Every structure is written in structure tokens, then in C-alpha cells.
Amino acid sequence: MSRLAVFVSGGGSNLQALIDSDVKNSIALVVSDRPAFGLERAQKAGIETVELSRKELGKSGLSEAIEKVMAEHKIDLIVLAGYLSIFTEEFSARWRGKMINIHPALLPKFGGKGMYGHHVHEAVLAADESESGCTVHFLGEGVDNGEIIMQAKVPVVEGDTPETLAARVLEEEHKLLPKAVLSVLKG
Ligand code: GRF
């Protein structure tokens, strides 16, 4: 059975969706790069947690520290669920095909550098798109690229703000992420 580590930086509602699904039994560890409410969700569910501070470790120090913790916990699959730090190229190369990310837009559109949080939804509205959604994908060489595992769409509606669109997308994320991770776990 795969041993999964879920990475969070914030509220962790996507982590919660995993905890509330059949994925839970595979979650061996939750990792954060800063103090995050997601850690409390994990602890409440009886899952081990570790905080590796991006601020204290820096980019390469962080990747090294994570690599060590992954080995200690015999992790073979990483799920980035709202994780904001970026890894070194070496780390990404080693974990290629074993690191899954969720992005709040329909990749390959509205991905890449600077496209996170409200920036994504602002860009979708500015481009006058009629739909948006979320993408679960394997991490490739760059930011937000790589093989797409699953996507879900939502409509953009008249009068949408970045906040209303984000909420509609997030609701779909909570359904899509457990489904996509389960499909990877089942091979
Ligand atoms: C989600 O929109 C996710 O797609 C993005 O960051 C947000 C995290 O939300 N990468 P949460 O921490 O899971 O509540």
C-alpha cells in the first residue's frame, strides 16, 4: 500500500476532503511550510505532522529537509493540497510521477508563475472566460505543468467576483481531489 504525505500551507480544506474520504488510510504524514490550520486538522484526525519552515530553511534547505523526512516515513506519494513553496529541480526530478498537485483552474490555462490563490480567479474573470474549474495533475518540470489526472468544470456566472468564483471552484476541488488521488492509488 502507498504511504502518502499531504503538503499544506493554509486552511487545509482539501486535506480535510482527503481525511473524510477513503484516501485517509493511506495518509502517513502531513507536512506544512509554515504554521497552518491544516496541521490541526491532521492532528485531530490522528495523523502525524511536521512543520518544515520555508522561512528558516530557504528553498534548497527546505527540499533537503523534506527529502529526509520522506525517507524516514517511507513516503512514496506526495499530494500538494494548497502548498505554496517551490522545490528545487533535483527534488522535482526525483519525485516526478510521484507528486500530485491541485490547481484551481483548468490547466494549461491560468497556470504557472504567480498563478495562485485569488490571482488565478482574477485572471479568469479578466479574460472573460465562460467556465473555470480545477485540475489534479502530476508535477512536471515547471510550475503547474505535467500530466493531467482529472479536471472538473464550473460555470463563470454574471456578477462573479474572485471570491464567489473561488468558492464555487473550491467546492469542486473537494470532490475531485479524493477521486483523483484514489485513482492514482489504485493504479
Ligand atoms: C485551493 O484552491 C488549491 O487549489 C490551491 O490552494 C487552495 C487551498 O485551499 N492550490 P485549502 O488550504 O485546501 O483550503
Nearest-CA residue for ligand 1 atom 9 is: 82
Which atom in ligand 1 lies closest to the alpha carbon of residue 14? Answer: 13
- As a dihedral over the C-alpha atoms of residue 87, residue 93, residue 97, residue 99, rounded to 10 degrees, the angle is -10
| Closest listed residue to residue 135, CA positions, set 126, 125, 145 | 145
DSSP assignment, residue 159? Answer: T
Residue 100 contacts residue 137 (beta carbons within 8 Å): yes
| Centroid of ligand 1 to alpha carbon of 114 (angstroms) | 15
**Atom of ligand 1 at shortest range from CA of 13:** 14
Tell me how many domains the chain contains: 2
Tell me, yes or no, whether 18 and 74 share the same domain. yes
What CA–CA distances, in Å, run from 148 to 103, 139, 144, 153, 159?
11, 9, 10, 14, 30
Looking at ligand 1, which residue's alpha carbon is closest to its atom 5?
A: 82
Question: What residues are labeled active site?
Answer: 103
- Helix 118-126 to helix 162-185 angle, to the nearest 10 degrees? 110
How far does residue 47's CA lie from ligand 1's centre (Å)? 19
Pocket test for ligand 1, best of 14, 23, 107 (most atoms within 8 A of CB): 14
Whether residue 91 is found in the same domain as residue 115:
no
Distances (CA, A) of 160 to 9, 152, 165, 169: 26, 18, 6, 12
160: in domain? yes
List the one residue out of 31, 54, 33 whose CA is nearest residue 42.
Answer: 31
**Domain stop point among 95, 114, 141:** 95
Ligand 1 pocket: which residues have CB below 6 Å?
8, 10-14, 81-82, 102-104, 170, 173
For position 140, what pLDDT does the model report? 77
Grid coordinates representing 139 are 508535477
The closest alpha carbon to 173, from 146, 140, 135, belongs to 135
Q: Kindly give the distance from the C-alpha atom of residue 71 to the centroid of ligand 1, in angstroms, as a whole number.
A: 26
**CB-based burial of residue 164 (10 Å sphere; 0-12 exposed, 13-18 middle, 19+ buried)?**
middle
Instruction: Return the ∠ at Cα 51 (arms to 47 and 55), rounded to 5°.
Output: 160
CATH number at residue 46: 3.40.50.170
Residues 185 and 118 occupy one common structural domain: yes
Nearest CA to ligand 1 atom 12: 12
Distance 118 CA to ligand 1 centre (A): 10
Same domain, 91 and 4: yes
Question: What is the reported pLDDT for 169?
Answer: 98
User: What is the C-alpha separation between 167 and 152, in angstroms, rounded?
Assistant: 14
Domain boundary pick from 95, 123, 149: 95
Q: Which range marks the domain in which residue 80 is found?
A: 1-95
Mind listing the pLDDT tens digit of every residue in the chain (187 residues)? 899 999 999 999 999 999 999 999 999 999 999 999 999 999 999 999 999 999 999 999 999 999 999 999 999 999 999 999 989 999 999 999 999 999 999 999 999 888 999 999 999 999 999 999 999 999 977 666 789 999 999 999 999 999 999 999 999 999 999 999 999 999 8
